[in-house]
Amino acid sequence: MKTMKKLLSTILLISIFTLSGCFKEKENEVQNYTVISTQDLEKNIPNSNWVVVDTRENDAYNGWSLDGIEKGGHIPLALDFSSSWLNTKTERLDSILTTKGITQNKNIVLYDYNNKDAKKVADYLNKKGYKNIYLYNISDWINSGKTLESYKNYQMLVPPYWVKNLIDGKNGINNYKIFEVSWGDEKASPDYLKGHIPGAIHVNTDHIEEGPLWNRKSDEELIELAKNNGITIDTTIVVYGADSMPASRFAVILKYLGVKDVRLLNGGTQKWINAGYPVETTVNKATPVDNFGTDKPLNRDYIIDLEGAREILADKTGSRLVDNRAWDEFIGKTSGYDYIEPKGRPAGAVWGHAGTNSSNLDDYRNPDNTMRNAYEVLQMWKEWDITPDKRLSFYCGTGWRASEVLFYADVMGIENISLYDGGWNEWSGNTSNEPNPIETGIPAGK
């Protein structure tokens, strides 16, 4: 009997060890990637044969503390390729990998904090034939006392959780307003009626600009609009929409008026929904205030008009008038608008990229419509001598695309920046008989 018990015990132990070995082997097969040390990572960051990639949410890369991590920002020189992009339309992903230099001939370090995002991207790349893939947890970098980089004004571009905490009273901010911005009144706007952030008030873009020029309304009208929406210069404002362009347009106008704390929801409505937060269909009304806090704009240089644009073009060394339209608009192949007849660009303007048409800003957005990283934006500008040390004024057709670009430039910490409000619609003489100097075609040397 004792012999039988010993035999059974031996068999049981052998079975346990065997099963443990199977599970361990299976776990290694699933993992299938090498975890790189902090020392080796730091040593290889400057190496052109290595690419370091942040796979977390874009907001963490920008500077926000997410997932319980104590510090926000990214490892210096790291690129971004968020695992969340894999949940979007994937036709852009191949070109994004190429643009970022994430190619199969390089060693690729993918890092995260939750031990999930990097693995998800690694599996995606592995299926595409990538072999030299390493994983890393950013907590090791932080625990080693090493620094992270963040955008100077990353707080202007907020993640969904920050807005949720604002609503729940967890941010220590009591005087705030949230605005969904799109065209049409609140009873006709499909974006607002389909579902908006709880408590959000709708702003119709017709209330902040007017045709035929589609410049901003008068300072007096804009201040009155702010008062009617319960806004003072000390109110924390969050703007967003299904499309971030009209929201950025309103944000830029509020900053021009002097509102001190204006923030844009990074990625707009869809990022709120993707985060699992609720929406409502209630039409919310603002409680007006009697005093905005000023009777004139406090940040007047943030938006310039025709004379300001002419002044910038005259300064050929220290200033740039930056065209944020599609390439075909810039070279005069199309005006981009059915209500703008002239084609071309202001003589002397430089191309700042945008997207494929007048409704597209993909050159400044990730696949989930969050802000593209600053390294790539600056590299995109470099070819056209658009540099942060210069005075930069951004324009497009009527101000929507350029407003978003201006806001992102502000997030990056670029200082001497503005919106040329009239844009191509004004400069071209489309609304008057006084066109300004115009060029068409591809500039020499480009």
Q: What share of the chain is helix, strand, coil (3-state, %, to 5)?
A: 40, 15, 45
Kindly give the parts of the chain with pLDDT less than 50.
1-30
User: 231, 396, 414, 417: which is the annotated catalytic residue?
Assistant: 396
The answer to whether the CB of 116 falls within 8 A of the CB of 83 is yes
Q: Cα angle at 405 between 111 and 92, to 5 degrees?
A: 50
| pLDDT per residue as tens digits for the range 253-277 | 999 999 999 999 999 999 999 999 9
Burial label for 25, CB within 10 Å (0-12, 13-18, 19+), is exposed
378-409 as b/e, with b when 16 or more CB fall inside 10 Å?
eebbeebebeeebbbbbbbbbbbbbbbbbbbb
| pLDDT per residue as tens digits for the range 73-128 | 999 999 999 999 998 877 889 999 999 999 999 999 999 999 999 999 999 999 99
Q: Which domains does the chain have, with CATH numbers?
A: 34-144 (3.40.250.10), 154-275 (3.40.250.10), 303-439 (3.40.250.10)
Say whether 22 is catalytic.
Answer: no
pLDDT score recorded for residue 190: 86
Peptide bond into 212 cis (omega under 30): yes
Element housing 253 (H / E): helix 244-257
pLDDT score recorded for residue 186: 78
Residue 189 identity (one-letter amino acid): S
pLDDT score recorded for residue 445: 87
pLDDT score recorded for residue 245: 98
Burial label for 120, CB within 10 Å (0-12, 13-18, 19+), is middle
How far apart (Å, rounded) are the C-alpha atoms in residues 405 and 282? Answer: 31
Q: What is the pTM of this model?
A: 0.92
How far apart (Å, rounded) are the C-alpha atoms in residues 257 and 247? Answer: 16
The answer to whether the CB of 411 falls within 8 A of the CB of 153 is yes
Alpha helices, H only, 129-218: 138-143, 160-167, 190-194
pLDDT score recorded for residue 21: 35
